[in-house]
Amino acid sequence: MDQKGNTFLNKAIKIIMEERNGNVPLIEFKNPKELETILDLDFSSGVDDNELERCVRKVVKYSVKTNKASFRNQLYGGTDPYGLSGAWISEAFNTSQYTFEVAPAFTLVELKMLNHILRLFGIPNGDGIFSPGGSISIMYALVAARYKAFPQVKSKGVRDLPELVIFTSEDSHYSLMKGAHWLGFGTDNVKRIATNEIGQMRLDNLEAAILREKELGKQPIIVNTTAGTTVLGAIDNLESVAEICERHGIWMHVDACWGGSLMLSPKYRNGLKGIERANSISWNPHKMVGAPLQCSVFLIREKGLLHAANCASAQYLFQQDKFYDVSYDTGDKSVQCGRKIDAFKLWMIWKARGDSGLGLLADHAMEMAEYCAEAEDTEWWELMHKITKKIKELAMVSSRLMVSYTPLRQHKNFFRLPFTFHPMLEKADVLDMLQSIEDCGEQITLAML
């Protein structure tokens, strides 16, 4: 074993490149107990590089290859190669994104990236921060909305506040419920608004719910809209919700973690019309865009509010008498202390591809999704409702396809096929996915159900 460990780096890169080869299967599935016996996971004693390589290769062999076209299981997929390079570089330098002094170039990268994204989403004078994920971004929005309405909450706590109410679509992400619990709103104060037939929050129900809570003496604090729901990919009517929020003086957040990537496409961005009227927005480039996990952005319209709501002024980090402009020490507006330099991964992608290159990838992903929708008729879906769970099992065990399924209200289980920028799919890939589902379905007998 090399005491410094440097000799293993080249081996690791070789393993990664080999396992990203097109001939490697999507997954070699083993049940947990069986896999535990296969993998040599004990680490109580050191091993040489050759033995370590053997162990690592085994771990990678039995891992899911998310870079393959047949991985449709989650809202993320393969990584953009430029983003992957950015991840390797940022990890190698192992610094934190809280002060300019320890991350000078990376701080400027994050600020440049945020300013570009703010302009893209139509709030050029706003602020933002890279967060650990969409769930944390939701919490940023809850904290900002509450602080804006009741700034005394920071020092006095929630005991003197009225009962605060949150409104969200019944199809919105579950992290809002967790945020309501963690931040003391209480899950009973999350009012879930019914959706229409295409998954959008019903505007009449939203306004009625706001008026009802006001009559009960409660304080509506935030409406969480969704641009790209997890299951249906629905986008709420952002323009109309903005009008309701402005009329009632309520903070509007747009959870655009999934659908926000449409802003990259001149052709499809009109689907997010009204997002520029939001008080805050969350977007996850690690989903559709293919930035390596994690890469998430929280945007806020009012400059300075993010810092005011979250700062704690730690004297050992954020001294005000430093020898450089301390406004570049951005860490105090974060809920974290140590913070990964996630912006660099996205910067690498954007620097290589530019606005137009990312727009082309967005257009292509949407075109493949539309092609898939056209290929699925009513008879096909009726069949899928009956045997979805078993098809998933057969497709996954045979390494042909990894796809998620879910029930939703009146619908029985159905497949959810998200489309991402990477890997770039062709129509043949889409047909292969559907063929895999059909072939596995034909193998199923009544005795198997």
Dump pLDDT digits (tens) for 66-115.
999 888 888 889 999 999 999 999 999 999 999 999 999 999 999 999 99
For the ranges 32-36, 81-85, 438-442, the lowest mean pLDDT is seen at 438-442
C-alpha–C-alpha distance, residues 227 and 241, integer Å: 12
Can you say how many angstroms the Cα of residue 365 is from the centroid of all Cα atoms in its chain? 17
Dump pLDDT digits (tens) for 305-317.
999 999 999 888 8
pLDDT at 304 (0 to 100):
96
pLDDT at 100 (0 to 100):
94
Q: Does 1 score more than 60 pLDDT?
A: no
Burial of 161 (0-12, 13-18, 19+ CB in 10 A): middle
pLDDT at 354 (0 to 100):
97
Q: Does 4 score more than 70 pLDDT?
A: no
Dump pLDDT digits (tens) for 38-66.
998 888 888 899 999 999 999 999 999 99
The strand pairing partners of 280, in sequence order, are 253, 300
Q: Kindly give, in sequence order, each residue whose CB lies less than 8 Å from that of residue 46, ignoring residues fewer than 6 positions away.
A: 1
> What three-state secondary structure class fits 127?
strand
pLDDT at 307 (0 to 100):
96
C-alpha–C-alpha distance, residues 253 and 236, integer Å: 11
pLDDT at 3 (0 to 100):
58
Dump pLDDT digits (tens) for 134-192.
999 999 999 999 999 999 999 999 988 999 999 999 999 999 999 999 999 999 999 99
23's tokens: 């001939």
Residue 444 vs residue 237, higher pLDDT = 237
Nearest to 196 by CA among 228, 146, 234: 234
User: DSSP assignment, residue 235?
Assistant: B
C-alpha–C-alpha distance, residues 329 and 308, integer Å: 14
pTM exceeds 0.85: yes
Dump pLDDT digits (tens) for 381-392.
666 667 888 888
